[in-house]
Structure formats: structure tokens, C-alpha cells
Amino acid sequence: PTFIANMMFPFGNMTAYFKLPDWFDDWDNIPEEKEDDPPNVKALKRFLLGDEDYRNARCKVIPHVVDGPLAIRLIKPRPMEVNIDGPRHPATWHQVSKKKIVEDPLTNETTSAALLECDIDVGMSNKQIRKIINVIRPHIESVTIDVALIVGTPNFSEVEEPSACIGLWRIEKVDFESAAVFPELAVEDAAEKVKMIMSGMEMEEVVGGVAAA
């Protein structure tokens, strides 16, 4: 089972993968919470069983600037918990059952594993965040940042909840210009995708017309 944090920037995606505990096998058989479970196990079980609102309120990152240009080191903020979901950086969740078998188109090998993915919109849809990201981008390859992904107590909650660390990773002087590029859609695939989008828009107009009538 795998957890994927997919951060979508205007200039590319940064994706982190984490292996989930062995006691989690699939979505329909998550073990019940026990009184003697360690706090981190309790937090993770509740997190996996929770809906999107529950996860958004508790899933956070703790960034820590390790190295960078002098100007960044001088203003280095203290580590703090930041919700991955917010008005300017919305997050969406997707989960896949182990029962879904995926075939590799290159090797024809098949795999199956439970998957939880969080897509975080970092400046794709918000103009203010996009401007900040575009200013920072030229300096990313000279900055090193440690990041912790945690399950914590919701902001402003008066009740302390158990917490868990999902994973840790280091963003070390990443050069996006040398990163792999997703292949462009073939003309036929692109046309089919546009048709599907337009079909959905037409359906929304029909439903909206019926509601108005």
C-alpha cells in the first residue's frame, strides 16, 4: 500500500511516495482501532477511514529550510505546521483498491496495491500563489528543504488528538529544467478528451435549464 503526495506547480509536479504500514492491506479491511494501539496507529487508522474533510483538517506539512542563499537563510522561518489544504492551495484525494489490477504498457506486468493520493494545487489556480511561485522558482535549485508530512490535531481544536508522521523527505536543490517531461497526448486522444469535457458541459447546461424551469 502506498501514499502519494502530488504537489502541482505551474511549472511541473513534485511527487513524494510513502509506504503505508503492513497492517493496512485494502480499504475494505482496515483494522478496528484498539484501546492499546499506539497514538500514531490510532491517528493513522482514523485518517485512512476519514472522509476528505477529515483528512484536509488533519493532514499537514512541516517545512524546514536547511540551506540556501544568504538572503533566504537570514529570513529562514521557524518550522511550523501548515495544512496541505487551504483556500489558496486546495487539496483533493483519490483512493484505489487493491482489487484494481494495473498493467504496465511497456512490460505487460500487472500489479495491484491499495493507494491513497493527495493532489495539492500549489499555484495552478490561484494568481497570488502563482506569482510567488514564479518569483521563487529560479532559486529552487539552490535551496534545501526538509519536509515532514503528518496527521495532527485540527487548527483551533480544543481537544488534542493523537498524531502520526506519514513520512519525511528532503527537497535538495531540485533542477526542474532537467526533470522528465510528460509525453503530450496524441491528437486522437486529445480530441477524445475535449469531446468528453464538452459533453459534460452540455449535460450541466441541460440540468441547469431543467432546474431553472
Give residue-wise pLDDT tens across range 14-56. Answer: 899 999 999 999 999 999 999 999 999 999 999 999 999 999 9
Q: What's at 93, amino acid-wise?
A: W
Q: How far apart, in whole angstroms, are the C-alpha atoms of residue 21 and residue 26?
A: 11
Least confident of 10-14, 108-112, 208-212: 208-212
* The pLDDT of residue 211 is above 60: no
**Which pTM was predicted?**
0.75
Q: What is the mean pLDDT of residues 209-213?
A: 51
- State the cell numbers at 23: 497492517
Q: How many CB atoms lie within 10 A of CB 170?
A: 12
- Sign of CA pseudo-dihedral 183, 188, 194, 197: negative
